[in-house]
Amino acid sequence: MSIRTRLSAIVLTAPLALLSMQAAQAQQPKFTYDGPVITLRLSHFAPENHPMSKAVSKKWIEMIETESNGKIKIKAYYSGVLHSAKDGFKATVNDITDITPAYTNYQPGSFHLTHVLDLPFAFPSAAVAVKVAEELYPKYFKKEYEAMGVLLANYNANGSYNFFTKKPVVKLEDAKGMKIRSAGGESSEILSALGTVPVAVPAPEAYNAFQRGVVDGVAFYNTGAVGYRIDELATSMTELGLNNPANAWALNRKTWDGMPPEVKRFMYNMQRRLSMMYGIEFDRQDILSRKSFIDRGMKIQTLPPAELARWKQAVDPLWQKFIDENEAKGRPARQLVADLRALSTKYEKWTPEQFMKDVTDNPVRGIIDGM
């Protein structure tokens, strides 16, 4: 079964996934904390009307308040009103927010093994990406991330990255020399390997950069192209599935340390569920977004297998480069890559129902000490 067929099935089965999630919730230990109401701040650079804000973060906030009997409330700040996309770590450490995206690709020099999550064609879907990222985190990524002065809240994995352009890109040569918006870090290396000129632009600034001609195209996941209005400018989308970056969210360590033990356990498990909610919904929304592109007349360029293989061959050396550079510094990159590939294969055919049941019944332990 092809990746697209499996993801299309997600669109049809998503309601069942939500039902299984609700059934699993009933099995959770009763929340008995009876102290003062605790209010946490969640900040995000995405707009409130972004498809993922509406489908995931708002629903998760409702779940938090319902399952905590109103004892835990989340105050959400969207559209970067508290801090910019690049300042997630700084805002968390400086107690401006409690939970926020703090993406490693905005500070690539501070991370090493973590960059494996951004390598090309690592995962078949966003759901697999968040599942694998959480399982690898305690052994491989935790030390790097906590060195930033924060804890890991959760992951979200974007849908697969494609090219959004104003001229068709149907073969590798078409992309050569094009200025393509990049999220930075490993994404820029991928784009360079493809012969393009990467231009690091935060997501909220991508529309203006594309509109003004600062970039010739945008490397983005489908839902992001809708949420940030890239689809209003692009006339062609080349389906590549370059990568499904698993993006980390930071948790305010001071806030965490001040939580009662029962609240810590509750929030830890809820963050695990948030990771998977993002993974499943990103996959689902990307299919819906693709349909919206077709409906508005955008040309979808689906590369023949032989042509797509050329793109994969162009970026494949990045894997060996990652291994060699990290092994030279004494980091276990070779074993990490082997573990990632084994886990990705293990979970590639799981359904949304399986993912939600697993994350509810068997959340990954050790992402935060004592949990």
pLDDT, tens digit, 9 for 90 and up, residues 295-322: 999 999 999 999 999 999 999 999 999 9
pLDDT at position 9 is 52
Distance CA 358, CA 127 (A): 12
Whether 193 is in a domain gets the answer no
pLDDT at 18 over 60: no
Whether 343 is in a domain gets the answer no
Distance CA 321, CA 311 (A): 17
Mean pLDDT, rounded, for 108-118: 94
Residue type at position 305: P
Of the listed ranges 24-38, 176-190, 191-205, 255-269, the least confidently predicted one is 24-38
Chain-centre distance for alpha carbon 289: 17
20: domain range?
A: 3-111+125-157+247-290
* Count of domains observed in the chain: 1
Distance CA 291, CA 300 (A): 10
- The whole model's pTM is what? 0.88
Whether 59 is in a domain gets the answer yes
Q: Which residue do the tokens 């968040």 mark? A: 130
Strands of 72-77's sheet in order across:
72-77, 38-43, 99-101, 246-251, 151-157
CB 196 within 8 A of CB 174: no
Strands 236-239 and 299-302 come out as parallel
Q: What is the dihedral of CA 90, 86, 133, 244, to 10 degrees?
A: 170
> In the structure encoding, which two tokens stand for residue 39, read together?
């209010």
Q: Which residue do the tokens 């993406």 mark? A: 103
The DSSP secondary structure of 283-305, one letter per residue, reads HHHHHHHHHHHHHTTPEEEE--H
pLDDT at 260 over 80: yes
> In the structure encoding, which two tokens stand for residue 291, read together?
């349909």
Apex 59 CA angle, 58 and 61, nearest 5: 65
Distance CA 282, CA 277 (A): 8
Whether 45 is in a domain gets the answer yes
pLDDT averaged over the chain? Answer: 92
Q: 182 by DSSP, 3-state: which?
A: strand
Whether 178 is in a domain gets the answer no
Whether 277 is in a domain gets the answer yes
Residues facing 236 on adjacent strands: 165, 299
Count CB neighbours of 70 within 10 A.
Answer: 10
Q: What is the CATH number of the domain that holds 41?
A: 3.40.190.170
- Among candidates 326, 308, 278, which has minimal Cα distance to 116? 326
Percent of the chain residues past pLDDT 70, beyond the cut = 92
pLDDT at 16 over 70: no
pLDDT at 181 over 70: yes
Element containing residue 219 per DSSP (H, E) = strand 217-221
Instruction: Work out the pLDDT band at 28, boundaries 50, 70, 90.
Output: low
pLDDT at position 306 is 98
Whether 257 is in a domain gets the answer yes
